[in-house]
Amino acid sequence: MDSEILIRSGAVFNLGFAVFHLFFWKLFEWKKESKRMSRANYAIIQIFNLCLILVFIAMGWISWFHSGELLGSALGKTVLFFFGLFWAARFLEQFIFLRVNRVMVHVLSVLFLLGTLLYSVPFFRGI
- Do residues 63 and 14 make contact, with C-beta atoms less than 8 angstroms apart? yes
Q: Give residue 18's pLDDT band: very low, low, confident or very high (50, 70, 90).
A: very high
- 46-100 per-position pLDDT tens digit: 999 999 999 999 999 999 999 999 999 999 999 999 999 999 999 999 999 999 9
- Cβ–Cβ under 8 Å, residues 87 and 80: no
> Under a CB-based contact definition with an 8 Å cutoff, are residues 72 and 94 in contact?
no
d(CA 127, CA 110) in angstroms, rounded, equals: 26
Q: Are 74 and 126 in contact (CB under 8 A)?
A: no
Strand, coil or helix: 38: coil
Q: What is the DSSP string of 87-111?
A: HHHHHHHHHHH-----HHHHHHHHH
Number of domains observed in the structure of the chain: 1
Report the amino acid identity of residue 122. P
pTM: 0.95
CA dist., res. 28 & res. 7, Å (int): 30
Give the ranges where 23-102 is alpha helix by DSSP (H). 24-27, 30-33, 39-65, 67-72, 74-97
User: Which residue range is the domain that position 75 belongs to?
Assistant: 3-126
Q: How far apart are CA 76 and CA 105, in angstroms?
A: 32
| pLDDT at position 91 | 98
